[in-house]
Amino acid sequence: MKKTAFFAALIISVVSVPAVAEMSVDDQIETRQSAYQFAAWNGKKIKAWAIEGSEEYSEQDIIAAANAIAAVANSGMGTLFSRDSANDRAENTRLKPNFFNELDNVKNIALSFAQESNELKKVVADGDRDAVAQQFNKVVDTCKSCHDNYRAD
């Protein structure tokens, strides 16, 4: 039931015109870029501990980082993607226009990002470095999937 409700909300948010109409295209771009930068900044904390081993384990910091990533993934970011915010119509963005022709794939990637981020929160709570590294890589794979398909170089 939760998956169905989440998927329905995701579909609505990805194609929601009224919600985006309240924000200028520049604000949509700036807001989504800021949110993803915030998620990436938190991801670097997890990566430094779980993958690189360059940081000491801080349970509080790692849990907070995973929670922040999941918050971004579950925040309804789809409303920040209007057709006019692609790089063929707007500046300061690398969003390719094909994003809007492949909404089923976009929805699947967004759902996967949320699911893998939610799972990361659970795994981080156990403090097992190897399990965190494995789950973190799953989250990164969802990011990479979107970038590979919809982000211009």
Q: Do 87 and 95 contact (CB within 8 A), yes or no? A: yes
pLDDT tops 70 at residue 20: no
**CA distances (Å), 68 to each of 44, 46, 117, in order?**
12, 11, 9
Residue-level pLDDT at 64 = 98
Spans of all domains in the chain: 2-150
pLDDT tens digits, one per residue of 76-102: 999 999 999 999 999 999 999 999 999
pLDDT tops 70 at residue 15: no
Residue-level pLDDT at 14 = 52
pLDDT tens digits, one per residue of 46-63: 999 999 999 999 999 999
Looking at residues 129-151, what average pLDDT do you find?
A: 98
- So what CATH class is 2-150? mainly alpha
Residue-level pLDDT at 108 = 98
Looking at residues 52-75, what average pLDDT do you find?
A: 96
Residue-level pLDDT at 2 = 54
Type of residue found at 60 = Q
- 3-class state of residue 95 by DSSP: strand
Residue-level pLDDT at 22 = 86
